[in-house]
Amino acid sequence: MPNNLHNLTIHEARRLLDRRAVSSVELTQAYLERVQTVDPRVRAYVTVTAQQALRQAREADVRIVRGDVSPLTGVPLHLKDNLCTKGVPTTCSSRMLEGFVPPYDATVVERLRSQGAVFLGKGNMDEFAMGSSTENSAFFPTHNPWDLERVPGGSSGGPAAAVAADEAVAALGSDTGGSIRQPAALCGIVGLKPTYGLVSRYGLVAFASSLDQIGPMTRDVTDCALLLNAVAGHDSRDSTSLPHPAPDYTRALTGDVRGLRVGVPKEYLGEGIDPDVEAAIRKAAQTLEAMGASVDWEVSLPSTKYALPCYYIIAPAECSANLARYDGVKYGYSYQGPGTMWEALERTRQEGFGPEVKRRIMLGTYALSAGYYDAYYLKALKVRTIITREFQEAFQRYDVLLTPTSPTVAFRLGEKTADPLQMYLSDVCTIPVNMAGLPGISLPCGLAHGLPVGLQIIGPALGDGTVLRVAHAYEQATEWHKMRAKA
């Protein structure tokens, strides 16, 4: 049996499993032992489902013997804890849902389960996906495997840290304003936010419904394409799901970027960006140019500066509406003390939600209130349309756009918790992509201050294949994807 079984990609694990060099049970056991060893330091998991995982692994081994195999059969995965899992707690890292066990699977979970994937457990996150550091979890912060004194990013910090620390082969996260890409960048892995509507949101606990999207978090771009293949495609249970047949995204991984037009928007470089991060991005663009792509450094998306304030009107407004359902009546935390029904409802929400969630509910409720709806929410929607149009115009001239994923590398735990605005600025490079519903991927492109730097590649709507093609070509031409965290 090979050594270091907990240090595999999906495609490496597939080869071993298909050759019967290792069984799914052995592979799963290796990852569970790794979790037991490493996770007390990293804290990537809210729930570890060891018994379920071993049962799924035994079932996968039977499938492999009879030849009923998909790329993910028998592969141990990690799921962010806002994806509903039948019979397994789904808490959103909130006291409000502590102990809540869904009676059904999210569509993405259902699809992975049908392919024989193994679920190791549920990943820690910022409460209800609201945050950029995983410090807003009601249970505990997650630590960056590269430096345990630093954040892993957020809100999908648990999945990012789990993949980076070899506590899972790959993971699924969700991205509302950068929550897959930013932690992927800070933890030195690959994270893809697909085109809005490409992956079903059915069973994803909603934060901001017009922005949320589920996507893969992996070791390399090939794994990203394999995991996207497994979960993409139309779902009639999700009214925003695109009636678009998902292609085989691995066919886009040609390694060739000759003739592709690459734009580097100047609004994403300069002020607010760590100079060492900017230098890594510029070098990555030069690498693509040397590989035969044409690179234009004079691209402008002038409305980019409005994306962040626009997001912090639209996302809290949608969160205010979505989180109104947590009233202590049907499920979740419920205050049981003395008082009227209205007092019980107030105490339920007061005690069940953390400070960041309350802050966003109040912001959103204010923006939607009578007298302010037109001034704030309606105006933000109009600005969103302008941002989307600017991207559409840019993609008439370019195949992809390159930017940093995060303006900085991973910052220290506690460094920004007292200043919400500074925390919000962590997503300044990723939020415009969600506003326009576009695909965006982050992959490692260097080190700054000894920590990973993420390169963001943005494509037009349904240009996920092109984004993966450019990312894969860059990855194969460099060594950054071979970096490993210390944990």
Picking from 380, 403, 424, the residue at the C-terminal end of a domain is 380
Average per-residue pLDDT for the chain:
96
Cα–Cα distance between 164 and 158 in angstroms, integer? 10
Cα–Cα distance between 283 and 292 in angstroms, integer? 15
Same domain flag for 33 and 125 = yes
Predicted confidence at residue 84, as pLDDT, reads 98
Indicate the number of domains in the chain: 2
Predicted confidence at residue 189, as pLDDT, reads 98
Residue 233 is assigned to a structural domain of this protein: yes
Same domain flag for 203 and 347 = no
Cα–Cα distance between 115 and 300 in angstroms, integer? 44
Q: Residue 101: which of 85, 117, 114, 77 has the closest Cα?
A: 85
Residue 171 is assigned to a structural domain of this protein: yes
> Is the pLDDT confidence value at 446 over 90?
yes
Same domain flag for 234 and 323 = no
Contact (CB, 8 A) for 25 and 16: no
Picking from 209, 233, 252, the residue at the C-terminal end of a domain is 252
Same domain flag for 242 and 349 = no
Picking from 380, 395, 421, the residue at the C-terminal end of a domain is 380
Residue-wise pLDDT tens digits, 301-345 = 999 999 999 999 999 999 999 999 999 888 889 889 888 988 988
Reported as a pLDDT band with limits 50, 70 and 90, residue 3 is: low
- Please list the residues that pair with 458 across neighbouring strands: 401, 440
Residue 356 is assigned to a structural domain of this protein: yes
Cα–Cα distance between 468 and 273 in angstroms, integer? 25
Domain that holds residue 36: 10-252
Residue 263 is assigned to a structural domain of this protein: no
Q: Concatenate the DSSP letters of all residues of 157-172 into one string.
A: HHHHHHHHTTSSSEEE
User: Which two structure tokens, joined as six digits, stand for 215?
Assistant: 């996507």
Same domain flag for 93 and 223 = yes
Residue 403 is assigned to a structural domain of this protein: no
End-to-end CA distance of the chain: 24
Cα–Cα distance between 59 and 70 in angstroms, integer? 13
Residue 143 is assigned to a structural domain of this protein: yes
Same domain flag for 213 and 359 = no
Same domain flag for 35 and 155 = yes
Counting Cα atoms < 13 Å in the Cβ hemisphere of 53 gives 25
Residue 112 is assigned to a structural domain of this protein: yes
Reported as a pLDDT band with limits 50, 70 and 90, residue 41 is: very high
Residue 39 is assigned to a structural domain of this protein: yes
Predicted confidence at residue 4, as pLDDT, reads 79
Same domain flag for 232 and 340 = no
Active site residues: 80, 155, 179
Same domain flag for 206 and 312 = no
Residue-wise pLDDT tens digits, 278-308 = 999 999 999 999 999 999 999 999 999 999 9
Contact (CB, 8 A) for 27 and 7: no
- What is the value of pTM for the model shown? 0.97
Same domain flag for 222 and 329 = no
Residue 172 maps to which CATH number? 3.90.1300.10
Predicted confidence at residue 107, as pLDDT, reads 98
> Is the pLDDT confidence value at 2 over 70?
no
Same domain flag for 238 and 99 = yes
Residue-wise pLDDT tens digits, 112-126 = 999 999 999 999 999
Q: Residue 419: which of 104, 135, 64, 200 has the closest Cα?
A: 135
Cα–Cα distance between 360 and 328 in angstroms, integer? 19
Predicted confidence at residue 341, as pLDDT, reads 86
**E strands in 339-379:** none
Same domain flag for 59 and 161 = yes
